[in-house]
Amino acid sequence: MKLQFLGTGVGILQPDKVQSGFVVEPNYGRPLLFDCGAGILQRFFESDYDPLDIEAIVLSHLHLDHVSDVLALLKSRWLCDKPECRIIGPEGTQDWLDKMFDVYPYLQRGFDITVTEMNPDIELDLGWNCKLSCAPGIHSVPSLGYRLEEGDSAFVYSADTEPCDSIMELTKEADVLIHECSFPLNFEVTNHTTPDMLASYLDKIGADRLYLTHLYPHMQGHEEETLEFLLKDFEGDVEIATDLLKIEI
């Protein structure tokens, strides 16, 4: 699998970062978009991917910095004669999408959208030997972390959450964990992650590589400090993700 980060930022504007989203390309299937915050649609022009080729949009939760560009992406596909799309997300995704279309009645005609609402009891067969499963995180709204498997390869995306056992259990025998790290060391926060909060779970991570994303401006200038702190106890590789970074899984 190939993965390219499109946006590694948050709801606060930052130079060189747009909001949350990344593309995963299975070896034998079509690309999947995980989250679609503001700026993701435009970021496609700088990436290796065409939004018309996206097979499905996978949403972790319904906060604006993770879904702002969904309707814009759907409309751009519709204008290019690509009205069909699959959306996968937490419970409430269908209701959220219906309400979005209620705001723009002219968009209610002509789309062919299938919505699948996920929960931890579902293992979704995406075809191409790919399986998608999820677990709940700890956030201010229901938020799902995801595990995507293709053959012997797997990655896990925490989405917005405090570090927790449910997400770490997804990482068993995974290759990569993409985990949020919103704030620096010793920052008091709930519903998000700091390096010291994550450090107490490092021995539970089953993946060999850890990528940190969803960085608030408070993290600027603390990147090296964060990496040094986590590498003291994590035997694998740790890297801070940046917009347009490409990795292979």
At 46-102, the pLDDT tens digits run 999 999 999 999 999 999 999 999 999 999 999 999 999 999 999 999 999 999 999
Per-residue pLDDT of 23-36, as tens digits, reads 999 998 899 999 99
Q: Which among 133, 127, 122, 176 has a CA at the least distance from the CA of 27? A: 127
Digit-coded pLDDT (tens) for 197-234: 999 999 999 999 999 999 999 999 999 999 999 999 99
Nearest by Cα to 137 from 146, 128, 124, 150: 146
**Segment 109-142, tens digit of pLDDT:** 778 999 999 999 999 999 989 999 999 999 999 9
Burial of 176 (0-12, 13-18, 19+ CB in 10 A): buried
pLDDT at 107: 84
Instruction: Give the relative orientation of helices 93-103 and 70-79 as an angle to the nearest 10 degrees.
Output: 60
22-31: string of b/e by CB count within 10 Å (b at 16+)? bbbbbeebeb
Instruction: Tell me what pLDDT residue 225 has.
Output: 97
pLDDT of residue 216: 98
Per-residue pLDDT at 220: 95
CATH for 2-248, options being 3.60.15.10, 3.10.450.50, 3.40.50.2300, 1.10.3720.10: 3.60.15.10
The span from the CA of 216 to the CA of 234, in Å, is: 23
The predicted structure's pLDDT at residue 110: 79
Taking the CB of residue 136, how many other CB atoms lie within 10 A of it?
17
Structure tokens at 76: 């751009």
Give me the pLDDT at residue 30, please. 94
